């Protein structure tokens, strides 16, 4: 938040802009993707990026947990990705090109969604740079359908498409179809259902054992319990708490190199304004963990 409390740019995370320290040498590039064309329940995720950016104006640059000013690493907000209305596969390609360009100088790229389908394009781009990439996929839903509502590139098939590109570890799942359950068993994709049957204490070790040195973190905000995050299109009870999620993210970032991330499925019209602030805070935490 600017010291005088007033916004300077309005359409950038933390109101940072050209001329601010770290803008030209930013370690982190954020890309807004206002897209939700394959949503199957509550629409509105296309408004998520702007809501996160607007809420970020109220964040303190100094983070108490990490005892540092996270913004000092340089956080640059790129222009939002223009929606391609010809179909979700075309949108995946558009996201891939945007991430590929943003990551060309080695920056950490963060997507602000938008629906979860945008993840596929980011993973396609980053696996070309880090062939050993694995994805930590945090979601209330398995997203392992091969096809849903006539497409294999929508929000219900994201994890399935990612699993065809690189390794994936799912955490927080508490809703899936019988066919998805069978696919997970057959392919032995690591999935930690929530709440975990053996308790949360061993989750971090189990996750780390399945991750490669380079990790992309994908967060569907419905992985959080609706009492924490109500503003999502497909809420599911029984989710992770704020502390459970942030402790896991910090541990992963401490032990692995996080090369990219996304925050998806914030549908600000479906919950209190506090949800957008929570999403912005989580994004800032992710930046802090990844650059610590």
Inter-residue contact 96 to 47 (CB < 8 Å): no
Report which of 24, 63, 136, 20 is spatially closest to residue 287, judged by C-alpha positions.
63
Inter-residue contact 97 to 130 (CB < 8 Å): no
Task: Pick the more confident residue, 42 or 199.
Answer: 199
In the predicted structure, residue 33 carries a pLDDT above the cut 60: yes
Beta strands per DSSP E along the chain: 28-33, 62-63, 68-69, 75-77, 108-113, 134-138, 167-173, 191-193, 214-220, 257-264
Inter-residue contact 127 to 119 (CB < 8 Å): no
Q: In this structure, is residue 269 part of a structural domain?
A: yes
Q: In this structure, is residue 3 part of a structural domain?
A: no
- What CATH number is given to the structural domain containing 224? 3.40.800.10
DSSP, residue by residue, 34-55:
---TT-SS---GGGHHHHHHHH
Mean pLDDT of 201-220: 96
pTM of the model: 0.94
Write out the residue range of the structural domain in which residue 99 sits. Answer: 26-290
Q: In this structure, is residue 148 part of a structural domain?
A: yes
Backbone angles phi, psi at 83, to 5 degrees: -70, 135
Q: How many structural domains are present in the chain?
A: 1
The tens digit of pLDDT for each residue in 211-232 reads: 999 999 999 999 999 999 999 9
Q: In this structure, is residue 9 part of a structural domain?
A: no
Q: How confident is the model at residue 98 (pLDDT cuts 50, 70, 90)?
A: very high
- 290: enclosing H helix or E strand: helix 274-290
Report which of 5, 11, 133 is spatially closest to residue 60, judged by C-alpha positions.
5
Q: In this structure, is residue 227 part of a structural domain?
A: yes
In the predicted structure, residue 7 carries a pLDDT above the cut 50: no
Q: In this structure, is residue 60 part of a structural domain?
A: yes
């Amino acid at each position: 938040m600017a010291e005088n409390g007033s916004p300077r740019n309005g359409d950038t995370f933390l109101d940072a802009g050209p001329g601010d320290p770290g803008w030209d040498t930013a370690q982190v590039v954020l890309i807004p993707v206002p897209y939700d064309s394959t949503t199957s329940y509550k629409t509105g995720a296309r408004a998520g990026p702007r809501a996160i950016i607007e809420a970020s104006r109220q964040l303190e640059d100094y983070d108490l947990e990490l005892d540092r000013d996270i913004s000092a690493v340089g956080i640059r907000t790129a222009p939002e990705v223009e929606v391609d209305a010809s179909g979700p596969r075309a949108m995946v390609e558009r996201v891939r090109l945007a991430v590929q360009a943003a990551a060309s100088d080695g920056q950490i790229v963060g997507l602000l969604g938008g629906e979860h389908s945008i993840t596929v394009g980011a993973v396609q781009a980053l696996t070309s740079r880090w062939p050993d990439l694995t994805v930590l996929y945090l979601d209330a839903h398995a997203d392992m359908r091969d096809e849903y509502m006539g497409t294999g590139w929508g929000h219900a098939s994201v994890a399935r498409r990612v699993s065809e590109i690189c390794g994936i570890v799912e955490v927080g799942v508490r809703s899936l179809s019988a066919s998805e359950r069978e696919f997970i068993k057959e392919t032995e994709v690591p999935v930690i259902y929530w709440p975990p049957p053996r308790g949360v204490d061993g989750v971090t070790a189990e996750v780390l054992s399945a991750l490669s040195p380079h990790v992309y973190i994908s967060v569907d905000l419905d992985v959080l319990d609706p009492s924490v995050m109500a503003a999502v299109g497909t809420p599911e009870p029984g989710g992770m708490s704020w502390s459970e999620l942030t402790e896991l993210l910090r541990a992963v970032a401490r032990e692995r190199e996080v090369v990219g991330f996304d925050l998806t499925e914030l549908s600000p019209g479906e919950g209190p304004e506090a949800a957008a602030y929570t999403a912005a805070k989580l994004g800032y935490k992710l930046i802090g963990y990844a650059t610590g």
